[in-house]
Structure 1
Amino acid sequence: MAKERCDDRSVLLAREALRPHVPRGRPAADFYRAEADRQGGRVLELGCGTGNKLIPIASDGHPCVGLDLSPDMLAEARHKADERGVAVEWVHGDMRDFDLGGTFDFVFIAANSLLHLHEAEGLVSCFRSVRRHLAPGARFAFDVFNPSLRLLAEAVGVRRPRESLSFTDPERGEVSVDVAETYDARAQVTRGTWHLSTQSEPDFLVLPLEIRSIFPQELPLLLSLGGLRLVDRFGDWSGRPFTGDEPLQLCVCESA
């Protein structure tokens, strides 16, 4: 059994690290920060987690709102923002259906958080909620991975190390990550069990993680059903056009 405690901040950090295929380093944060500056005005992040990307945007002077389904994540985000002296409105809510009573100039969903919505209906509902909250001229951006048929075929339930997902925990030190996954082709959902370990504490945290695949051709259709139009799709954080071979789908949208 996982030795999980709700008041353990290292567990929250681990959960943040387990966001599926999270883009590491500064490029992702810099992209969203630059988009917020380009748009100006109010900013909304859906699935904001502990605020890793939203807090720097708020520190630039943008009025910011962060929405997440996890109270623990929001509590940690509030703690981090208070430490930095940054004002952010943190809202507990579901990105599939929310009403914040106003509009925003820039809305984004980072780190594949959109892929926690498994049903097409949920994705379309999310896009419709976003559409209702876009001010005139506003933009909506998100990143999701580009599914690899090879990797999906290899998801057969065997536990394997994921060296690219290892991270440093301030309390436990170096944390390694092993993953055992299976792929449900009918649902387009990868169902995995993630094992976090240190040298002294093997499997200190074991978590289920289920994420959807959105294939390139279906993405514009889902957006259109939600009242949105795909303006740009990039294959990396530098803005290189998406050709279909890249591991990333970085999308910028507007109201249809």
Structure 2
Amino acid sequence: MARDGYRGTAARFYDVHAREFDRDGAAFYRRLASDADGPALELACGTGRVYLDLLRSGVDVDGLDRSADALSVLRENVDADGRSPTVWQADMTDFAVDREYALVYCPFNAVQHALTVGDQLALFRCVSDALAPGGRFVFDVFVPSFEVICEEYGDWETKSVRFDGEPHEFRTRTRIVDEVEQRFEVTNELRDADGNHLFEESFPLALLPKPHVGLLARLSPFDDWHVDGGFGGEPIADGDETQVWTLETAE
């Protein structure tokens, strides 16, 4: 189980292929951070898919991630164009900062790595402590779909990809691992053309339906919150695939 995030070859592979999994979220968070009235902090910044675009455009943005290897890849990417990132290794359920942020954001389901209610509330408290008065915490998680879970979970999905200039086979599988605790696991594997395993990593995550996140918000230090059904700002409705939450502190 990869409790410390992507490691080694997996971090480099994620850096190359992460944009394939984007659901319009990267552009959404870039707009938010660019428009924020103060600095921004990205949770689970990884290899810099969102973070580096903001840094290169002059946004005052910091980042944290629990994967030391992912942050190493981010710094290598920055070295290529001479930028100076402010990123550090930390768990988003247990971190502290020495400045106040106008915006804290967490893209691409990463909040779901907080597995327990205790972890989730700790994350919300850490973010609240990091925000300036009137600051916002914005994140997205998917809407659990019974149809997708029943029809697709448990099966391996295999596709051919190019990595380091050579053809590889990438396999991924999502499966429910604890029905009572509402947890699932994503396993990723990469093999080269000769069938050699380059990495296999599994990540446990929490299913977070809208009522659950709403209760977390009520128990958190935040003063106001709302949820949209995607990145376009429309109220969430049946059939939406993405929950975009905005939690706000008082002025």
Whether TM-score is above 0.5 comes out as: yes
Structure 2: segments with no counterpart, 5+ residues: 1-5
Does residue 69 of the first structure (1) align with residue 31 of the second (2)? no
Q: Match of 1:118?
A: 115
Question: In structure 2, do the counterparts of structure 1 residues 188 and 22 end up closer, same or farther at CA, with 3 Å as the change threshold?
Answer: farther
Does the 8 A contact of 1:180 with 1:192 survive in 2? yes
Unaligned ranges ≥5, structure 1 = 1-5
Equivalent position of 1:176 in the other structure:
170
Choose the corresponding residue for 2:127, options 130, 144, 151. Answer: 130
Residues 103-114 of structure 1: pairs in structure 2 closer than 5 A: 103-114=100-111
Q: Which residue of 2 aligns with 1:245?
A: 239
Provide closer, same or farther for how the CA distance between residues 87 and 197 of structure 1 changes in structure 2, counting only shifts above 3 A.
same
Deviations 1:44-80 (A, max 9, x none): 0111111110111122222221111111111111111
C-alpha contact 1:71 1:92 (8 A) present in aligned 2? yes
**C-alpha displacement at 1:203, in angstroms?**
4.4
Residues 229 and 62 of structure 1, relative CA distance in 2, 3 Å threshold = same
Within 5 A, what are the aligned runs for 1:1-256? 8=8, 10-15=9-14, 23-24=21-22, 27-154=24-151, 158-161=154-157, 168-173=162-167, 175-179=169-173, 181-201=175-195, 203-229=197-223, 231-255=225-249
Q: Alpha carbon RMSD of aligned pairs, Å?
A: 2.8
Q: 1:168 to 1:105 in 2, by over 3 A?
A: farther
**1:15: Cα distance to partner?**
4.4
Q: How far is 1:185 from its partner? A: 1.4
Tell me the TM-score normalised to structure 2 length.
Answer: 0.85
Size of the alignment, in residue pairs? 245
**Structure 1 position 245, deviation (Å):** 1.7
Would the alpha carbon gap of residues 159 and 196 (structure 1) be closer, same or farther in structure 2, given more than 3 Å must change?
A: farther
Check whether the contact 1:169–1:175 (CA below 8 A) recurs between aligned residues: no
Identity of aligned pairs, percent? 24
- Pair 1:220–1:22, CA change in 2 (3 A): farther
Rate the CA distance shift 1:217–1:180 in 2: closer, same or farther, 3 A.
closer
Displaced runs of 4 or more, over 6 A: none
Structure 1 residues 159 and 152, CA gap change in structure 2 (3 angstroms): closer
Q: Judging changes above 3 Å, is the alpha-carbon distance between structure 1 residues 253 and 181 closer, same or farther for their aligned structure 2 residues? A: same
Q: Give the Cα separation in 2 of the matches to 1:150 and 1:203.
A: 32
Provide TM-score, normalisation by structure 1. 0.84
Q: Higher mean Cα deviation, 201-210 or 38-47?
A: 201-210
In 2: Cα distance, 1:188 partner to 1:17 partner = 31
How far does the alpha carbon of each residue in 1:205-239 deviate from its partner, in whole angstroms, 9 at most, with x for none?
22212111001111111122221255442222233
